[in-house]
A and B are shown apart, each in its own frame.
Chain A
C-alpha cells in the first residue's frame, strides 16, 4: 500500500482514513488515499485464420500490429501478457510474457504467426473461457467473420469473465464490395459457393446485412461496457490508434 493523495471528507467516508494530524493543523477533514500496485493480466487473442491473410494488405498485419502495441503498453506497465493466436481453435500453449525486456519476444512471436485455417471464433473463445486464468483484460483482435454468425460470436464473448477489449478489423470494401454481375462467390475459408446476380439491389441488401452485423456487435459491447475498436486494415495502425486513444474510446 502506497500513499497516493488526499481528498476532502464527504459524509459516508470511512472515518478510519481521516488524517487527524492534518485536521489539527488546518481544521479541515481530509482523507488519505492509498494505492496498491497490481499486475493486470492481459490476454490477447489474435485471429490468424485464412480470412485474415486473404486480402492485400492482409488484415492479419493490422491485427498483429495492434496486438504488438497492446503488448508493449502492458509490458511497459509491468503487466503480464498472454498471446493466444486462434484459427479453427485456440493455439496452445500460449506465450506468457512479463517485463519490458520481453517485448521483443512478443513481437517476434506475432511476426511468426501463419494462417491457421478457417475461423472458428466461437470455439476459440469458449475454449479460452474454460481456462482457469486470473481475471484480467481480454483483447480479441479479429474480423469476426465467423460462419456461425454474429449471434454465436456474441454469445461466446458474453461467456468471458474478463474485462473485454474488442478490436474489429475492417476494410472499406466490407460495406460495399466492388463486385457486379452474375457471380459465383466462393468463401476463401470454407469454400462455400453462393450464386448471385450482384446489382444495386443486392449490394443494398448486402450493406444492410453488414450494418446489422456491426450494430449487433457494437450493441453487445456497449451493454457489456466493453471497449470496441474498429481498425481499418488498409490504413496505418498507429495513426488510427492515436486518434482512438485521444478520443477516450479505450476504457480499461
Chain B
C-alpha cells in the first residue's frame, strides 16, 4: 500500500509518531486544573453517582483520545489520498488507448455525433463497468500517443480532458500508443489494453497484444472500409503572397488499399484537377494544386472511390481574397526605386493616373506637401498632420533590417535619432516619409534617395523596408514575421495560415451502430458487479465530511461533559 507516496512502513511510523504526539496533546488537554475547596465530601459522592450512571464516563478519556485519533486519521486519509499499488490478487490494470486520428472526425449516422464522440462515450461506459479495485489509464493517440490519465490520477480529472479532445488531421499512430500502454502496464498486476479505434479489428495494430498483456479492440463507428476527405488547406506561397497551394487530404480506413479519385473544380465549372491515387489502409494522400491565386473563388472538391465507401465525398472550399497593392507616382521614381518596389510581387505599379484608383502614392519631396504628411528630416521629426507611422528601429517595419551605415546619395549615410519614433534620417533631406490622409496614403522619398549615386535603394534591406511600408499603408496590417536573411520579401499571410477544415458531406451507406455498452469480452464478469467506480475525489470529500462531523460531535460531547 502506498500512502501519500511513501511506503507503508514509513507511513506506519509516521502514524505511530503522530499518535504519540496526539496522546501527549490529549493528556495536556485533559490534565485537570487543581482547585482547593472547603470540602470534597459532596464531590466524592457526585463522582460516584455520575460514574454509576454512565458507563461512557469511565471511558471518557480513552474515548476522547480515540475520537481525536479518528478525526486525524480521516483528515490524513482525505488529504493523502492513499492508493493500492499493484499486487498479486489486486484489481485489473487497464490502459485504454483512444484513437484520435483524422478518420475519427467522420460522423456516425446512427447517433448523430462523430466517431470521436462515440469513442469517448465507449470509454466512459467502459470506466463505469470497472470495479473500485480496478485501475485505469487513458492514452490518447493524436497522432502520437500521450498520457491523458495515469493510474494514480483521479478519474474525475478525465472529464475535462475528454472535452478537449479533437481528432487531428492526420492518421494516428496507434502502434506507438499500444507501445506506451504496454510500458505503462509493465510490472502491474492483471494488465489489459483496450483500444478504441474506428479501424477494423483485423487491421488494428496488435503490438501490445502479447501473452502478458492481452489487448482488446473495440470498433468505433461502422465497420470501416472506405475513404474520406479529412482536411483541406490553402497555403500562400512564400514568394508570392497572392498565390498559394491548395491541398486536400484523403484518408483511408479500409482493410486494403483503395483507389481514390479526386476532382477539384471552380464553382464556375472550370476543372482544376482530376486525379486517381491509391490510398493505403490507415494512410492518407494529399491532392495539391499549386500557384492558385487567392481570388476568393469557391472550389468544389469531389471524392469518389473505385469500390469502397466514401465518407466525405464533397467539399466546398472558399479561397482567401487578396488583391495587389496599386502604387501610383511611378513617373518620378528612378529605376532603382522602381525595381525595389517591384521586387514585391504583391505590389503593382500604376504607370499613369496615379491620383485615382491607387492604394499608395510615392512622391518626391516638395516645398508644400500635397496632403497631411509625416516628414522625417534631419533637424528632427515634425508631425504636421496625420497618424504617425512608427518607423522605429525596434518596430516591426525594420525588424531584422539593418539600414544604418548605408550610403545614401552624395556620400551621406543613414543614422537614427533617439526618441519615441526614432526616424530614419540622412543628411540633407528626408529618407522616407509616409502619411495617411483623406486620400490615398503617401510615401515621400527624400532627394538623397532619388540621387543617381544612391546606393541604399539598390540594397535588399531597403526593398524589404519599402515593401513593408507599402503593405502597411495599404492596410495589410499583418505583423511582419522574422524571416531568414536570404528571404528578401516576406509573406504576410504566412503567420495566418490555418487549417481550413473540410465540410464532410453525406454518408453513402448506413452502418451498424457501435456497441457502447462496454468491452465485448472479458468485462462481463466485472460489469455484472454493477459497482460504480469511485474516483479518489469522492472518498476525499466523504472522509473530510466524516472528519468534520466527528469534530462537531466531539465539540458537542465535550460541551455537554460527555467526554473529556
Q: Is chain B a partner of chain A in the same complex?
A: yes
- Knowing A197-B564, A200-B561, A201-B561, say if A184 contacts B34 (CB, 8 Å): yes
Whether B46 and A202, one on each chain, are in contact in the complex, defined by CB atoms closer than 8 angstroms, is yes
Question: For the complex, what is the distance from the CA of A193 to the CA of B39, rounded to whole Å?
Answer: 10
A57 interfacial contact with B, CB 8 Å: no
Stretch in A104-112, A143-151, A159-167, A242-250 touching the partner? A143-151
B39, A183: Cβ atoms closer than 8 Å = no
Q: Which of A55, A182, A192, A200 touches B40 (beta carbons < 8 Å)?
A: A192
A184 to B38, Cβ gap below 8 A? no
| Contact call B45/A184, Cβ cutoff below 8 A | no
Q: How far is the CA of A146 from the CA of B38 in the complex (A)?
A: 11
Query: A179-B35, A201-B50 in contact; A206/B43 too (CB < 8 A)?
Result: yes
A46 CA to B41 CA in the complex, in Å?
Answer: 21
- Complex CA gap A205/B37 in Å reads 17
Listed stretches B25-33, B91-99, B329-337, B345-353; interface member: B25-33
How many whole Å from A225's CB to the nearest CB in chain B?
27
Q: Which of A54, A181, A194, A213 contacts B43 (CB 8 A)?
A: A194
Q: Which residues of A contact B560 (CB under 8 A)?
A: 199
CA distance A201 to B41 in the complex (A): 17
A195 contacts B by Cβ under 8 Å = yes
Q: Which of B35, B46, B50 contacts A184 (CB 8 A)?
A: B35
| A198→B42 CA distance, assembly (Å) | 13
Contact indicator A194/B47 (Cβ below 8 Å):
yes
Contacts of A23 in B (CB 8 A): none
In the complex, how many residue pairs between chain A and chain B have their CB atoms under 8 Å apart? 95
Q: Which residues of B contact A194 (CB under 8 A)?
A: 40, 43-44, 47
Q: Is A113 an interface residue (CB 8 A)?
A: no
Residues of B within 8 A of A143 (CB): 38-39
CA distance A180 to B350 in the complex (A): 103
A189 within 8 A of B: yes
User: Could you mark each residue 374-414 of chain B with 1 if its beta carbon is under 8 Å from any beta carbon of chain A, else 0?
Assistant: 00000000000000000000000000000000000000000
Whether, in the assembled complex, A155 has its beta carbon less than 8 Å from a beta carbon of chain B, the answer is no
- Considering only CB atoms and an 8 Å cut-off, how many residues of chain B contact the other chain? 24
B261 within 8 A of A: no
Residue pair A185, B38 in contact (C-beta under 8 Å)? no
In the complex, are the beta carbons of B564 and A185 less than 8 A apart? no
Known: A201-B50, A202-B561. A209 touches B45 (CB 8 A): yes
Whether, in the assembled complex, B255 has its beta carbon less than 8 Å from a beta carbon of chain A, the answer is: no
Contact between A205 and B49, CB atoms less than 8 A apart: yes
* Chain B CB within 8 A of A98 CB: no
A33 at interface by CB-CB < 8 Å: no
Contact code string A195-235 (vs B, CB < 8 Å = 1, else 0): 11111111001101110010000000000000000000000
Number of chain A residues close to chain B: CB under 8 A? 38
B39 CB contacts on chain A under 8 angstroms? 51, 143, 145, 147, 187-189
Q: Is A177 an interface residue (CB 8 A)?
A: yes
Query: In the complex, what residues of B have CB within 8 A of residue A186's CB?
Result: 34-37, 40
- The smallest C-beta distance from A231 to any residue of chain B, in angstroms, reads 15
Q: How far is the CA of A174 from the CA of B41 in the complex (A)?
A: 11
A183–B33 touching, CB < 8 Å: yes
In the complex, chain B residues 1-49 whose Cβ is within 8 Å of any chain A Cβ: 30-47, 49
Q: What A residues does B30 contact at CB under 8 A?
A: 182
- Asked if B50 and A202 sit within 8 Å, CB to CB, the answer is yes
Q: Does B326 contact A (CB under 8 A)?
A: no
Kindly identify which residue among B40, B46, B50 contacts A187, using a CB–CB cutoff of 8 Å: B40
A196 touches B43 (CB 8 A): yes
A183 to B44, CA, bound (A): 13
B46 touches A205 (CB 8 A): yes
Q: Is the interface of A mostly helix, strand, loop or mixed?
A: mixed
Chain A residues closer than 8 Å to B564, beta-carbon distance: 182, 197
Which residue on chain B has the smallest CB distance to residue A50?
B38
Residue in A146, A183, A201, A208 whose CB lies within 8 Å of B32: A183
List of B residues within 8 angstroms of A182 by Cβ:
30-33, 564
Q: Is there contact, CB below 8 Å, between A185 and B31?
A: no
A250 CA to B50 CA, complexed, in Å: 39
B126 within 8 A of A: no
Does the CB pair A188–B37 fall under 8 Å? yes
Q: Mark A110-149, 1 if CB is under 8 A from B, else 0.
A: 0000000000000000000000000000000001011101
Residues of A within 8 A of B245 (CB): none
Given A181-B33, A183-B33, A194-B43, verify A199-B38 contact (CB < 8 Å).
Answer: no
- Contact yes or no, B46 A206, CB < 8 A: yes
| Given known A197-B60, A199-B561, A205-B50, contact A185–B42 (CB-CB < 8 A) | no
CA A51 to CA B45, docked complex, whole Å: 19
Residue of A nearest to B54 (CB): A201
Instruction: Report the bound CA distance from A206 to B39 in whole Å.
Output: 12
CA distance A89 to B40 in the complex (A): 21
| A77 nearest CB across to chain B (Å) | 35
**Contact present for B33 and A184 (CB under 8 Å):** yes
Distance in angstroms between the alpha carbons of A168 and B36 in the assembled complex: 22
**A193 to B33, alpha carbons, bound, how many Å?**
11
Decide: B32 and A54 in contact? CB cutoff 8 A: no
User: For residue A143, which residue of chain B has the nearest CB?
Assistant: B38
Cα–Cα distance between A179 and B40 once the two chains are bound (Å): 13
Distance in angstroms from A52 CB to nearest chain B CB is 9
Q: Which residues of B contact A187 (CB under 8 A)?
A: 36-37, 39-40
Residues of chain B contacted by A177 (CB below 8 angstroms): 37
In the complex, A177 Cα to B39 Cα: how many Å?
A: 11
Shortest Cβ distance from residue A239 to the other chain B in the assembled complex, whole angstroms: 23
Report how far A50 CA is from B225 CA in the complex, Å: 107
Name the CB-closest residue of A to B57: A197
In the assembled complex, the Cα of A200 lies from the Cα of B559 at a distance in Å of 10
CB distance from B428 to the nearest CB of A (A): 98
* Most interface-central of B30, B32, B36, B49 (chain A CB within 10 A): B32
Closest to B41 in A: A145
Inter-chain contact B46/A55, CB cutoff 8 Å: no
- Across the interface, name the chain B residue whose C-beta is closest to A51: B38
Chain B residues in 8 Å Cβ range of A198: 561
Task: Output the nearest chain A residue to B560 by Cβ-Cβ distance.
Answer: A199
Cα A143 to Cα B37 with chains together (Å): 14
Chain B residues, Cβ within 8 Å of A147: 39, 41
Q: Is the CB of A185 within 8 A of B41?
A: no
Whether the Cβ atoms of A185 and B561 lie closer than 8 Å is: no
| 5 contacting pairs across A/B (C-beta < 8 A) | A143-B38, A183-B33, A196-B43, A205-B50, A209-B49
Sorted nearest first, the 3 A-B pairs with minimum C-beta distance are A199-B561, A184-B32, A145-B39
Having A54-B38, A185-B35, A185-B40, one finds 14 other A-B pairs with CB under 8 Å, namely: A149-B41, A177-B37, A181-B33, A182-B33, A185-B37, A186-B37, A187-B40, A188-B37, A194-B40, A195-B47, A196-B46, A199-B561, A205-B46, A210-B42
